[in-house]
Structure 1
Amino acid sequence: MEFLNLAIELFRNADQFILHIAEAYGIWIYIVLFLIFFAETGIVICAFLPGDSLLFISGAAAATGVMNPIALILIITAGAIVGNTTNFYIGSWLGKKIYDGSIGWIDQSALQKTHSFYEKHGGKTIVLARFVPIVRSFAPLVAGAAQMNTVKFELYSGFGALFWVGSIVGAGYLFGNIPFIKNNLSLILIVGILAALGPFTIAMCIQLWKKYFGPKTS
């Protein structure tokens, strides 16, 4: 129950929540943020977490002096890298089961196209996926299932994580305390959540529509 209350508080008043944890518990704020970004990129069911907006808010909080911005960037980057790696190996482990056609809900044609796409554009995809909500949570899973080269994946994953975290935390650090932005940080978080959930919700609605109202095949 206490964890649930903390989660609700995070979504309602993320800026004040981060400031409170940083001021009251010191180093624990880094651990909390590490775990959040590990979960968003390492556990696909946590894809709804508001990564982009939370990065910006964390940068704005660091500008007040409660956190070291360099340590913040490095620790969140580490969480994002470890999350990606975990998700990649899960995909790699599931890969054989996925490719043998035994999992009925996997579209084999789409999977083969994904494999070919990753063979050709894998590195660029892993970097750019960091900036796309939902996609960044699924990209390493698909890359693992597509048997992308591990070293290549880790190099692009690390670069993408550092570029993603550094640029958005840096923007929050530089601009987050502008009065208009500072007074609307919670709104920024909510917009980030909606941006993340929007495409996923639309895709789910389309799938349900096709399932129940689409043309029936004999």
Structure 2
Amino acid sequence: MTTLAALALGPAWLDPDQLIGAFGLVGVLVIVYAESGLLVGFFLPGDSLLFTTGLLVASGRLGGVPLWAVCALIVLAAVAGDQTGYLFGRKVGPALFTRPDSRLFRRENVERAHGFFAAYGRKSLVLARFVPVVRTFVPVIAGVSRMEYRTFVVFNVVGGVLWGAGVTLLGAALGRIGFVHRHIEALLVLIVVVSVLPIAVELLRARARRARRAGGTEGVPGSEAAGPLGGAARLGGGGARHPEEEP
């Protein structure tokens, strides 16, 4: 692995090709499930793993399992992961926002996902699938906010299909092209860079919003409640909903 690939893809043990080689399709499904809704799975490779899985299926290097079966299993794992995150969020509620930081948990990840959920409402369950870290925490935030369960299931399935099957099929389609095989590391780095762009944009926008608040609301009582934790605190009790979800 080149230095650039190592920086983008993380340590060697997180390299998608090595993970699939060591654990096969079962490992892919476990990782997809964990990254989709378990708080400890946010650091796992997602897009690059699915792309590599599709590429290996196309080249016959995944035990001969047909592409349709691989896609179906990945979608099921993704939907089940979000389901687990949602149920966990409903159970822990706003207490998640006061949980102390640890090696595998950072409140800033929850706050970022809360901001994403507040901005996009139900659509965040689909859009977040394509954003690393955020895709792990958004279903939990949906549970904390007590999103209507039927609505959650619909958007959960749509997002699971578009992301799980879509990225895998893209890898399978491009995997038949010789150029892709010759430059697979560069392509995986590109996928990682593209996938983290929304986070970079959101961080810049959040910084700009904080600067505007600091300049326009400094000294105004209660203005500090406008931040992610202030919004999270209002998710308790009756379970506030995003405007899109009002009857």
Scaled by the length of structure 2, what TM-score is found? 0.62
Partner of residue 73 from structure 2, selected from 67, 72, 75: 75
How has the CA–CA distance of structure 1 residues 112 and 62 changed in structure 2, closer, same or farther, with 3 Å as cutoff? closer
1:15 aligns with 2:17: yes
Residues 37 and 83, structure 1, Cα contact 8 Å, conserved in 2: yes
Residues 84-117 of structure 1, C-alpha deviations (whole Å, 9 max, x = no match):
111111211121536xx96697999x969956x6
- Give the number of aligned pairs: 189
- Unpaired runs of 5+ residues, structure 1, are 1-6, 22-27
Q: CA deviation at 1:51?
A: 1.0
Q: Hey, what's the Cα distance between the residues in 1 that align with 2:170 and 2:52?
A: 9
Residues 117 and 138, structure 2, Cα contact 8 Å, conserved in 1: no
In the alignment, what sits opposite 1:182? 181
Partner of residue 95 from structure 1, selected from 74, 78, 93: 93
Partner of residue 39 from structure 1, selected from 29, 34, 37: 34
Q: Hey, what's the Cα distance between the residues in 2 that align with 1:112 and 1:191?
A: 26
Residues 113-172 of structure 1, C-alpha deviations (whole Å, 9 max, x = no match):
956x67xx31x2211221222221121011111110112111210121012122211111
Q: Hey, what's the Cα distance between the residues in 1 that align with 2:75 and 2:59?
A: 21
* Structure having greater relative contact order (Cα 8 Å, sep ≥ 6): 1
Residues 56 and 171, structure 1, Cα contact 8 Å, conserved in 2: yes
Scaled by the length of structure 1, what TM-score is found? 0.69
Residues 38 and 80, structure 1, Cα contact 8 Å, conserved in 2: yes
Secondary structure at 2:130's aligned position in 1?
coil
Return structure 1 stretches of 4+ with deviation > 6 angstroms: 101-108, 110-113
Residues 117 and 124, structure 2, Cα contact 8 Å, conserved in 1: no
Q: Hey, what's the Cα distance between the residues in 2 that align with 1:113 and 1:47?
A: 16
Q: Hey, what's the Cα distance between the residues in 2 that align with 1:193 and 1:55?
A: 12
